[in-house]
Structure 1
């Protein structure tokens, strides 16, 4: 991988740290009695501020129906960073619950924007043979941020007073500020530039990203550019705008796949397990401090899982990766439910069974954290065509947030009321989805974004090999434009 491409991908995947840290700090602060007492929280208000964050996230995703295509992927990220700084500052300095909730909403909007636009941006700047690893890097950053938050959260637990939770929340400012500063060295998406008719800029960006990339010919970026431009012309000629999602059968199918995956992704129960694991640990008889230790272990295990997934996704493909994920998740979910039921049947006296429940949770979390989290950003970004990629990805993450709003609101009450039976619902959903996945989801490994349309029966302007026939023409045209621009710049202007 070329150094410049690597730096750009590191920047884009850093967007997942927004979500990872915000999600993690919510879990940690719920273990702080000072935080609970300061805002006088109960099961209902805990669900409310969780819903406020994810409600804001849904709004941010809906904003991506417009922002990335109008202003560009990069400008959209910069806007979200500014919002993130405002929301984090409000949460950190909140003196009452309404201000805290408002800060969570604004922070949620920022995270919704950045978390859903970054997979689009990443898929558009990555070369085909590494797109899977880009998804893995995205997953790793989510898990790393979560792990970092939980271990820091454990350390802050021993600080008395409100300084602990205010500092933990205040660290949210760091990812937003770092990403905003770094963004001024990032390029625009080459596919967005072609959509806007800025062809010469697009070719230059592709040259910097993919020129001389290991494993490709020196003219790979030129072939890629010609293929992107030819495909964009077909979409323009056929007037395939946003409404094509509803009018074109192959586009509808792609949207169905993405939204179906997103829905069942959330109905795995990962959000209830992750966000409310402290309450689960306490219910199983563990102390406050040890519960926070376990959240740190959960995050660390997620990082190991993401590293493992990154080593295999571009070798085995997307479909086998998801089968690996469910080979952990379904048995882990069954263990969790069965052992928790046995724990309660013994009158909660068998502490060994409580420990065994944790094993089931961690076995399940290993399958989701790396493998499922890697599949999502990689697959959802690459199955959609350029003209609706940002909108479709935003729809996916908007649905994610809408479902999460429901889950974070009802989970505290559901755990209190029906405990293990609540998680039985998610095990059943896992079984249903794996059948749907086997029947309807195609493999996309090692194909350019433009060629993936063939899997859905779309017209593809040209393959990468066919684009190779136009390399000399593209370079000649580019040199001619560059010369004309130079003459225009140096020629004296006459009044």
Structure 2
């Protein structure tokens, strides 16, 4: 990987900072009594503002049916940054609950756009051998920003009055401002450029991204020809969502993404993460200690992602998921069993409460790095170029729609049925890992174009076959350079 590609990848991975920080804010401010009192919040209104954010996320994901293919992946990121600045400013300065909720909706739209377009963009600018680690970096940023928010949230807890929650919310402006500023030095996706007939720009971008400083690496030349050849096969396909479901190979890919999006949230990770403070206080811990535990949760997620980063391109995507559920299912069993024992004992044994938290953390380790690495990499790489943005957006839309439901009902569910609520998610985990083991193929170290063969689609040419056209591409590049010098 050359320096320029590395810088671009680090930029794109910043898209997950939006979601990580925003979800961390949601967790921390529920531990601020001044925030709860300022808006006179109840379990119903707490669920409402949480749901409002994810409803905005669903809208943002649906907007990616149109924006990335029309204006490009990069322009779509810029649009989301502007929306995020607006929504964050409204949340920070809100003087009443409706203004705060509208700000959360706008912020959710921005997050829905950028969180689902960045994996598409990342998969199109990185080389095959690092694509899994790019997904891991994306997941690491989710966990790092969440961890950062929780530790900062603990520090802000001691600020007087409303300064704590307003400052915490105001920091949402930083990721959006930094990404908007840096975007003006980023390239357009080479595959999007090919889709728009801007072949010369695509070739030049691939050379900058995947060419070696010495100039003796011809990978970008073969890749360029393969991208063009594959696009000519696929370009006549209609891009509408209905048309996608009519083609068996595309339909199968969509089913894989949608199934994972649904069951990925039916793991119960959002109820555990967003309502940690509620769970901890239910188990008898103070607000301050609960905020400390949320910081530890975020730190554990970073450790998990660092582990996934080291193994994803060596082991592959499928082993990554088996490792994840190898932690999550035992963790879920500990969580529901020990919580039930805690309640049966009259809520007096604090050591049992600590054991429940251990089960949560065991569960969170499995999800935090391994699932957050798998989905952004896998969902974007299994879709062909002409529907990649649409397919990824659909997956994240299902993600947000599912989270809306969970966010709304979780405060009441914890209050009414406590540990029994999480038994539902444990059952869903067992169901999904069986589905996964049967239907999900391995995609490790394949180019995006070659993955089509896994689903029965025609592959225009392999990289080796594309290499036979290297001289043709070089000749074109030399002609373009000569023309440029002449002008």
Structure 2 length-normalised TM: 0.98
Matches within 5 A, 1:336-355: 336-355=335-354
Question: Counterpart in 1 of 2:385?
Answer: 386
Distance in 2 (CA, whole Å) between partners of 1:217 and 1:384 is 31
Superposed displacement of residue 118, structure 1: 0.2
Distance in 2 (CA, whole Å) between partners of 1:314 and 1:302 is 19
Question: Counterpart in 1 of 2:460?
Answer: 461
Distance in 1 (CA, whole Å) between partners of 2:32 and 2:393 is 34
Deviation string 1:158-180 (CA, Å, 9 cap, x unpaired) is 11100010000000000000000
Unaligned ranges ≥5, structure 2:
none
Deviation string 1:233-258 (CA, Å, 9 cap, x unpaired) is 1112x435335412210000000000
Q: Is contact 1:154-1:292 (8 Å) kept?
A: yes
Q: Is 1:97–2:97 an aligned residue pair?
A: yes
Unaligned ranges ≥5, structure 1:
491-495
Distance in 2 (CA, whole Å) between partners of 1:213 and 1:139 is 30
Question: Counterpart in 1 of 2:128?
Answer: 128
Q: Is contact 1:453-1:460 (8 Å) kept?
A: yes
Question: Counterpart in 1 of 2:368?
Answer: 369
Deviation string 1:362-393 (CA, Å, 9 cap, x unpaired) is 00000000001100001001000010000110
What is the RMSD computed on CA atoms of the aligned residues?
1.2
Secondary structure of the structure 2 residue equivalent to 1:197: coil
Q: Is 1:51–2:51 an aligned residue pair?
A: yes
Q: Give the 3 Å change call, closer, same or farther, for CA 267–60 of structure 1 in structure 2.
A: same
Deviation string 1:111-143 (CA, Å, 9 cap, x unpaired) is 000000000000000100000000000000000
Distance in 2 (CA, whole Å) between partners of 1:24 and 1:444 is 32
Distance in 1 (CA, whole Å) between partners of 2:222 and 2:323 is 35
Question: Counterpart in 1 of 2:76?
Answer: 76
Superposed displacement of residue 210, structure 1: 0.5
Q: Is contact 1:94-1:100 (8 Å) kept?
A: yes
Q: Is 1:111–2:111 an aligned residue pair?
A: yes
Q: Is 1:477–2:476 an aligned residue pair?
A: yes
Question: Counterpart in 2 of 1:163?
Answer: 163
Matches within 5 A, 1:88-487: 88-212=88-212, 218-236=217-235, 238-242=236-240, 244-487=243-486
Distance in 2 (CA, whole Å) between partners of 1:286 and 1:402 is 32
Distance in 2 (CA, whole Å) between partners of 1:162 and 1:420 is 33
Q: Is contact 1:244-1:251 (8 Å) kept?
A: no
Structure 1 length-normalised TM: 0.97
Q: Is 1:63–2:63 an aligned residue pair?
A: yes
Q: Is contact 1:336-1:358 (8 Å) kept?
A: yes
